Amino acid sequence: MSPRSEPSGRNRSRSDLRDWAVGAASVAAALCAWELLGRSGVYPPHLFPPPSAVARELKSLAASGDLLRDTVASARRWSLGLALGAALGTLMGLLTGVLLPARRVVSPLMNLTRAIPFIVLLPLAMLWFGLGEASKIAIVAWGVFCPVWLSTESAALAVEKEYVWAARTLGAEGWRLWREVHWPCCLPGVVTGLRLAVSTATFALAAAEMSGAFDGLAYRIFYSYQMFQTERMMAGVVALGALAFAVDRLFVAASRRVLPWREEAA
């Protein structure tokens, strides 16, 4: 008997390569179309700058050091908020997923509060935590907390009885059972929640930086808009998009390492 046959490595990498090439071609085609449309003069260039102009602007932002400063400021808020929200969300999910009384007490309250779009909590966060970093981190953390909590909770609720039974007959009870069975069963849920949270975090970050910040990529976009610097605004959009995309890819790669036993992690 041999392990179940899987598509051979070479075939898979060839089809991966093809998918990648198709994706790259479509992005390139979109850029070309944008460039042509921008140069055609159908729209005034100050409203619709072509990608070449945006790239020039990006380069000058990088040269002045603004780009690095903004990226660092955004990344800091983003990662602190994400870490805080993810830690609290995981804890809460485990609590309400494992302990029935905790779920009875906490879930109605949490479901009510999470129904409120977190953007409208922004003014309140600024009142409570001030105009500095704390309010921005808090709003990112809140945006992250909810998806991680829900996804961890549903994983904790779905732990298969057979695994628990197997572990108990093998001698695991109490804390050990929890650590050896419930936690690994919940981990995919935590990862799924985190992946959702990564995009909510970017969203929350953008909202927070657009209302009362002095640096950050979303701040740069909003400020450039007010100054009517369309090229700079688009440069900021591109930088923020690239950052979010890179983080998502990084996250997928990391979750494959954390969950090597999953068919397709995340």
Partner 1 sequence: MSVSLRMDGVRFSYPSAEGDVLALDRFDLTVEAGEVVCVLGPSGCGKSTLLALAAGLLSPEQGAIVAGERPVEGPGVERALVFQKHALFPWETVRGNVEFGPRVGGVGEAERRKRADELLSAVGLSELDGQYPRQLSEGQRQRVGLARALANEPKVLLMDEPFASLDALTRRQMQALLVSVWQARRQSILFVTHDVDEALALGDRFVVLSARPAKILLERRVARPRDPEALYSPETRALREEALRALGA
First vs last Cα of the chain: how many Å apart? 30
Tokens describing residue 166:
């197997």
Residue of 4, 8, 10, 115 that binds partner 1 (CB under 8 A): 4
Residue of 45, 168, 214, 227 that binds partner 1 (CB under 8 A): 168
Is residue 49 within 8 A of residue 234, CB to CB? The reply is yes
Buried b (16+ CB within 10 A) or exposed e, 58-80: beebeeeebbeebbebbeebbeb
**Residue 123 in contact with partner 1, rule: CB under 8 A:** no
- Of 31, 46, 58, 99, the closest CA to residue 232 belongs to 58
- Of 10, 44, 101, 9, the closest CA to residue 231 belongs to 44
CB of 254 to partner 1, least distance (A): 17
Q: Which stretch binds partner 1 (CB under 8 A): 56-64, 120-128, 141-149, 175-183?
A: 175-183
**Residue 18 in contact with partner 1, rule: CB under 8 A:** no
Is residue 71 within 8 A of residue 237, CB to CB? The reply is no
**Residue 263 in contact with partner 1, rule: CB under 8 A:** yes
**Residue 167 in contact with partner 1, rule: CB under 8 A:** yes
**Residue 165 in contact with partner 1, rule: CB under 8 A:** yes
CB of 3 to partner 1, least distance (A): 5
User: According to CB under 8 A, which residues from 124 to 163 bind partner 1?
Assistant: 160, 162-163
Question: Which residues make up the interface to partner 1 (CB under 8 A)?
Answer: 1-4, 160, 162-163, 165-173, 176, 180-181, 184-185, 187, 259-263
